[in-house]
């Protein structure tokens, strides 16, 4: 009796090994793609949180909206008037001229609010005026690329200008 494998048995073992190997490679590829997608999504959510928090803080502390604001189009521009305790009026603005959300304080560009790896694909401000108070609705779409994964996410917020209803 001979010991060893026949050619047919060897081919079957190689086919089974290749099938298992192919499944393993597909699994690893799927896991790495999911990891990249989660990373891009986390980056978008972090950036949106930081920028929305900053805009919310500035809008709430504003006393009025400046006439230089542009509403209802993308990229919009929001310019806020703020009055400090000494009665000095300052202006704070938010714009996205180059697909990067920027803050302008008294005419000076303070730079982008988030890393350049995230871009603003849409930024729309809408003014709300009830006659008693004013508010701003923000519609912002952010886009991020990373490792071959591109993701765009929409974010929304509505904020009342605290200075408009405290003065009445």
Is 1 a member of any domain? Answer: no
Which residues lie closer than 8 Å to 12 by C-beta, 6 or more apart? none
Whether 2 is in a domain gets the answer no
Answer whether 0.85 is exceeded by the pTM: no
Position 26 confidence tier, pLDDT thresholds 50, 70, 90: very high
Split into its structural domains, the chain has a count of: 1
Is 151 within the bounds of a domain?
yes
Residues spanned by the domain of 27: 7-166
Q: How confident is the model at residue 168 (pLDDT cuts 50, 70, 90)?
A: very low
Q: Determine, yes or no, domain membership for 114.
A: yes
Kindly state the percentage of the chain with pLDDT values over 70: 94
27 CB contacts (<8 Å, ≥6 apart)? Answer: none
Domain annotation covers residue 136: yes
């Amino acid at each position: 009796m001979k010991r060893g494998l026949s050619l047919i048995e060897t081919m079957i073992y190689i086919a089974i090994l290749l099938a298992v190997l192919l499944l393993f490679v597909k699994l690893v590829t799927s896991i790495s793609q999911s990891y990249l997608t989660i990373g891009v999504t986390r980056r978008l959510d972090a950036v949106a949180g930081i920028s929305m928090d900053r805009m919310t803080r500035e809008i709430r502390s504003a006393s009025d909206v400046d006439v230089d604001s542009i509403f209802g189009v993308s990229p919009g521009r929001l310019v806020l008037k703020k009055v400090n305790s000494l009665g000095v009026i300052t202006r704070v603005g938010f714009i996205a001229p180059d697909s990067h959300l920027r803050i302008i304080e008294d005419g000076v560009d303070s730079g982008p609010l988030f890393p350049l790896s995230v871009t603003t694909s849409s930024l729309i401000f809408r003014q709300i005026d009830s006659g008693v108070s004013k508010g701003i609705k923000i519609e912002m779409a952010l886009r991020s690329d990373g490792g071959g994964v591109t993701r765009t996410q929409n974010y929304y917020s509505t904020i009342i200008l605290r200075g408009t209803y405290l003065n009445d």
